[in-house]
Every structure is written in structure tokens, then in C-alpha cells.
Amino acid sequence: MLWPVDKLWSITTHFGEIQTILIDGVLTTLPAHPGVDIGCPTGTKVHAPLASYVSRSDTAEGGYCLTLQAGDYNFRFCHLAELALTEGYFSEGEVVAFSDTTGTWITGAHLHFEVRYKGVLVDPLSLTWGGQMPNTPSIISVSTQAPGYVTKDFVAQVVDAGITRIKAMDVDAAANPWPSWMELILRLYLDDRDLTYAMQGRAGAESWWKEVYPRAMRVPQKKILEGPNEPPHATVPQLQALCEFSIRAAELCATVGWSYGSMNFSEGNPEPWQIPYIVDALRGPNVWLDLHEYRMVRFVWQDLLDPASDHFHVGRYRTFMDSVHAVDSSVNPPLYIGECFIDNPYGWLGVADMTPAKGLERLQNQEAYYKQPGTYPVAGMYPFISFPFVGQWQTFDMATLHAPLLAYIKASHNPNADPFLLYANQFVFPVNLDAALNKYGLGIKGWSLDSQEFQKDGWTCEWFYDKANNKRVLCRAQAPTWAVEEYATIAN
């Protein structure tokens, strides 16, 4: 039995997961997810897992859907491109459809995949598939700290590696280099004002939201919006304020269908006694938990998998979640390591024998620890990889590491992907249909998009094509009103 897509893209929604998304402008909590969502770009080939026949083809909330029957197994695919075949037999591995973004219940490009065995829904990841299992690709991704330094070549390498979720900082402030289907963990820098807001509880969350919401709206990709980075938490009042802030911030993100990256604690923090004060902030259906893992020098001289290791300051996420479960075992937020690699003073330039090969080995060891069977799952780890390497951050210089790292990530996936399609996808315009400019140009005027969104002198701008008059129209809008102005019209 074959996994239905050539490339083993990341699982973006798991079997049984509860989702809250916007449907026609209304925040809606969906039933338990009946399958898995595979975060592949539009146009990905969908293959028959077994020799099968079409038992149903239909359109529903999932857009174009196809159901195949193979003995006791029933396979259902949704969000497909318009179906060329609605009946017939397929051999195992034969292309049956192409993924797309059709349907109502969709927050980004992906393939929805359900499996029934003898009429009963089962978790696709619990079955045995030919070749690699769908959860074997590397969980290592990249973190880009300065969007102006992200080149088209680097984006192409990330896409080619099969990465579908990255961490990015301030991509609202420059031309967004990432394809529309890429999921972003979005951090917006506020000159540390967010740390002040975090200590003001719910009221602080409202102030934070007023700053980050208009900026995040300029980023059209599916996103996890991160809260304050490494917030204060030394005292009980600070912990209580942080918990109140985080609950309200997650609620605000949910109103527009975004996930919220909560806590964002530095390595070794908080300690177990502090965790009961923040558990309530981890309960929301759209909440992700972010922890940072440094002290990586210990991974250099000490066996990472040694049970005697100090697993609170290094790999301490297990102790963290054990402490959460001691309060309430039902609290199980998806978890990612939002910052990692080797920290000062033992960093890239501080370890005499450090080379790209050894740096990659350290990251692979860290990943192996996170992927040990029977442990709390880690959804991803995000080492710094495209930072302007200056001053105190010199130790994060991974410029010589990114090529072998991305090659390793690519090799961890099924290599049978279409390289032409992967390369082409990076040039798709990211489109946020809820943004003021697109509501005006695409919705009201019926024009087509002629450029990516860009910023100039405080204005958010886009070009549209007016086919009826064969003209290009430059539109712009500006906070706080976001009223759209037709700034210029040029004959095509």
C-alpha cells in the first residue's frame, strides 16, 4: 500500500485534531478531523494507494473530492483540482488526481486524506505504507531573521528540500519571498514593547493586538503568530500576567483563524514549580507551545541520548510537559522548538573543531532525541539559518551550514518529487483574500492580480490588471482605515 503523494510532505493536521477556522467570516469549530492533511503545494500528483475503483466523486465543503474502494479499504481525497476522471479503475500507484485549494474548509494548499477500513475511520499514520512512513521526514526547518537577506535562490533551496513550514521574522516589512502555500511561524519585532504588554495581562494583549494585527494581515500565508519572545516569568505575579495575556492573545488570533505561538521560553525556563501558573494558557484549540533549546555545547561532549543527561536545560521539553500533565493530563498543545543551535560563548566560532559537517551532526543528534518513540511529539525545530551575522550574534553564523542542512532535509523525504513543479511554486503570488486591496481589486472590481503585495512609504500596494480596458491599475491602502485608493492607471 502506497502513500498517496510522491513527496512525503509534512502532516499539517492530524487525525482526531480539533480545528477552529474562519468560514464565510464566522469563527467555526470543526468536528474531530477524520483524516490527515498533507501540506503539499497545488498541482501535487495524487496516487492510488492500492488497485481500486472510483466509488464516488463529488463536490462538498472539501471542494472536489474523490473516493476510491479497494477491498476492505476506502480512501477519500479532498481539495482536489477539477476531476478529469469520475469513474474507472486504477492500478496501485497510478495518478488519480492533482491537489488544489478547492472547497470551503481550507486554510492553505494541502491534500485531505481519509482512510476507512471495513467502514470504520482509521488514522492513516497508524497503517503500514510501502517505502518511507509519512512521519519520517526530518523535523528540522529554517528560521529567517531578516527578510531582506532571503534570496530567491535560498527560497528555491528551501522549497526543493520539501519544507512546508518555516519560521520568519518581519516578512511584512519587505517583499514577501515565500510561496503562498508555505506555512509561516510569524514573529513580529516590536522593540521589546511586547515584553511590557505581556506583563499587563489581558489589557496588554489588546495593546499587542493593535500593533501586530495590521502587520500580520499583510502576510497572506497560513500562519502561527508568535507572542512576546522570551517573556519575564520569575515571579508569581509575572506568571499570572503572562498567562492572562496568552489566553487573550490566543482568543484574538482565533477570531481571524490564526494559530498562536505561546510562551516562547528561553532555554531552561520556566522551572517545574512555575508551570502550574501557566497551564491554562496552553488549553486553547489554536495554541502551539514554543520552547527554545540552547546550551547546545552539551550536545558536543555528551551523549544526547544518555538518560543521565541534564534534560531540563537541554532537551527539557519532556520535563516541561511532564509538569504540565501533573496538573492536567488533557493539555497537549502541539510543540515546536522555535530557536536552537549553539549559543554563546560556545558557539560556531567558539568551538575550535566545529565544521559544517559536525554542526549538521549536532542538529541530527538533537533531532534524534526529539523523535525517540514514546515521547511527547515535537512538530519542528528551527535553527537560525539566514541571519545577517554581525556583533553578538556571530555565533549563529550558519551560512556555511545551510546547504548541507537543506540537502539532509531533502534526502529525508521521498526523492520522487517533481523538481520543476517545486521550483515553479515559489513564483506563485501569495494572496490574502481578506486583505483590503484584494477585496477591492479581485472582489469588487473583478480585476486579476498583477503583482505581489509590497510596501512603499507606509503604503501597502498591489498592481491589478483591468482586462476590459487593457490597463494596469496600481492600488494602495494604509492603516488605520485601509481605504483603497487607485493611485495610477497605465495602458498595458
Residue 439 has pLDDT above 80, yes or no: yes
Average pLDDT on 84-108 reads 81
Q: What is the pLDDT of residue 473?
A: 96
Residue 446 and residue 416 share a domain: no
Q: What percent of the chain has pLDDT over 90?
A: 31
CB-based contact 214:453 (threshold 8 Å): no
Which residue would you say has higher pLDDT here, 372 or 207? 207
Residue 174 and residue 74 share a domain: no
Q: What is the pLDDT of residue 160?
A: 81
| Cα(365)–Cα(372) distance, integer angstroms | 11
Q: What is the pLDDT of residue 350?
A: 44
Residue 201 and residue 162 share a domain: yes
CB-based contact 144:385 (threshold 8 Å): yes
| Cα(405)–Cα(438) distance, integer angstroms | 37
Residue 70 and residue 29 share a domain: yes
Examine residue 236 and state whether it is found in any structural domain, yes or no: yes
SS3 content of the chain, % helix, strand, coil (to 5): 25, 25, 45
Residue 28 and residue 114 share a domain: yes
Residue 325 and residue 219 share a domain: yes
Residue 299 and residue 152 share a domain: yes
Examine residue 41 and state whether it is found in any structural domain, yes or no: yes
| pTM of the entire predicted model | 0.64
Residue 236 and residue 91 share a domain: no
| Domain end among 64, 96, 126 | 126
Domains of the chain: total: 3
Lowest mean pLDDT among 19-33, 71-85, 151-165: 19-33
CATH number for the domain harbouring residue 55: 2.70.70.10
CATH number for the domain harbouring residue 165: 3.20.20
Residue 414 has pLDDT above 60, yes or no: no
Examine residue 336 and state whether it is found in any structural domain, yes or no: yes
At 193, the pLDDT band (50, 70, 90 cuts) reads: very high
Residue 83 has pLDDT above 60, yes or no: yes
Examine residue 131 and state whether it is found in any structural domain, yes or no: no
Residue 444 and residue 416 share a domain: no
Nearest Cα to Cα of residue 67 among 93, 40, 49:
49
| Cα(229)–Cα(193) distance, integer angstroms | 10
Nearest Cα to Cα of residue 296 among 276, 315, 274, 322:
315
Q: What percent of the chain has pLDDT over 70?
A: 77
Lowest mean pLDDT among 110-114, 186-190, 417-421: 417-421
Residue 238 and residue 165 share a domain: yes
- Tens-digit pLDDT profile for residues 243-271: 999 999 999 999 988 999 999 998 767 88
- 26 has which bridge partners? 23
Residue 347 has pLDDT above 60, yes or no: no
Helix H or strand E encompassing 235: none
| Cα(449)–Cα(469) distance, integer angstroms | 15
Residue 351 and residue 218 share a domain: yes
Residue 413 has pLDDT above 50, yes or no: yes
Which residue would you say has higher pLDDT here, 136 or 213? 213
Q: Give Cα separations from 224 to 108, 168, 256, 273, 305 (angstroms).
A: 13, 10, 12, 28, 30
Q: What is the pLDDT of residue 52?
A: 92
What is the average pLDDT score of the chain?
A: 80
CB-based contact 266:230 (threshold 8 Å): yes
DSSP 12-50: EE-TT---EEEETTEEEEPPSPSSEEE-PPTT-EEE-SS
At 363, the pLDDT band (50, 70, 90 cuts) reads: confident
| Domain end among 425, 445, 478 | 425
Q: Which residues contact residue 424 at a Cβ distance below 8 angstroms, ignoring those fewer than 6 apart?
A: none
The residue range of the domain holding 466 is 436-491
Exposure letters 125-159 (e unless 16+ CB within 10 A, then b): eeeeeeeeebeebbbbbbbbbebeebeeebbebbb
Examine residue 133 and state whether it is found in any structural domain, yes or no: no
At 22, the pLDDT band (50, 70, 90 cuts) reads: low
Examine residue 361 and state whether it is found in any structural domain, yes or no: yes
Nearest Cα to Cα of residue 169 among 492, 469, 396:
396
Residue 345 and residue 466 share a domain: no
At 387, the pLDDT band (50, 70, 90 cuts) reads: low
At 324, the pLDDT band (50, 70, 90 cuts) reads: very high
| Domain end among 126, 152, 176 | 126
Angle, helix 402-411 to helix 356-370, in steps of 10 degrees: 40
Q: What is the pLDDT of residue 214?
A: 92
Q: What is the pLDDT of residue 385?
A: 58
Examine residue 147 and state whether it is found in any structural domain, yes or no: yes
Lowest mean pLDDT among 66-70, 294-298, 449-453: 294-298
Examine residue 4 and state whether it is found in any structural domain, yes or no: no
Q: Give Cα separations from 195 to 91, 129, 184, 228, 363 (angstroms).
A: 57, 46, 22, 6, 30
Q: What is the pLDDT of residue 125?
A: 78
Cβ-based neighbour number of residue 48 at 10 Å = 25
Handedness of CA 116, 121, 124, 129 (dihedral sign): negative
